[in-house]
Amino acid sequence: MNNSENKINTVFLLWIKLVREELCRFEMYRDFMHTEFSKARINDASQKFLEDTFMPIENASLFLIVHSHFEKSLNLLCFSLQGQVENLKKLNDFNGFGIGRAKDFLSQDQLKIKPVFSKPEWQTLTQISFVRNVIAHCGGEIDESQQKHLSAKHFAEKNGAKITELDDVACIELTANYLNMSFEKYRDFLAVLENELQHHTV
């Protein structure tokens, strides 16, 4: 491994370490909130409101925060690399947005990690981003005419979310199980990326 490749690997490994630490902090907040709710002494009506209304909103809010933070972290990784690696296209040279644009940037040959984006772990993050978009932009309501919405619905339901119906409109309602799954999938991708980087040192 030459000096340039070593510099690139160092940037990636530092990023992985930081993202893992941030995920731990988010999980601590999740655990704290769920513990506090479980200890609350309230009447039956308030308990039903807590379970049926407040907790799904809390789960969705934390999910949006974590995914947005992951997306921002990917962008910061791209900006860091474009300032250190010669002849890289800049992130803003690529079309699109979100993790898809970051993927296109990180797939450049000089970075040598393109194979990770064909693995199931990245495809899962793509599905998570579809769910994120439905929650963030449509309040969880599924537009049956949009393939990405249908894909989000199927993925969310398969991974522990509830699909509710209101006036014949399907809606994704995030649960604690779905939230826990998403944390695991971010970590799975970090592990795959770390493994790919280790191959560069052989």
More confident site: 163 or 46: 163
Task: Give the model's confidence band at 41: pLDDT under 50 very low, under 70 low, under 90 confident, else very high.
Answer: low
The C-alpha angle 69, 138, 67, rounded to 5 degrees, equals 15
State residue 14 phi and psi, 5-degree precision. -65, -40
Secondary structure letter of residue 175 according to DSSP: -
More confident site: 59 or 41: 59
Task: Give the model's confidence band at 40: pLDDT under 50 very low, under 70 low, under 90 confident, else very high.
Answer: low
- In the numeric block, the tokens 């932009």 are attached to 137
Extents of the domains making up the chain: 3-200
pTM, two decimal places: 0.89
Q: Which residues contact 130 (CB under 8 A, 6 or more apart)?
A: 148, 149, 151, 152, 155
- Which amino acid makes up residue 47? Q
176-196 average pLDDT score: 96
pLDDT tens, position by position, 112-131: 999 999 999 999 999 999 99
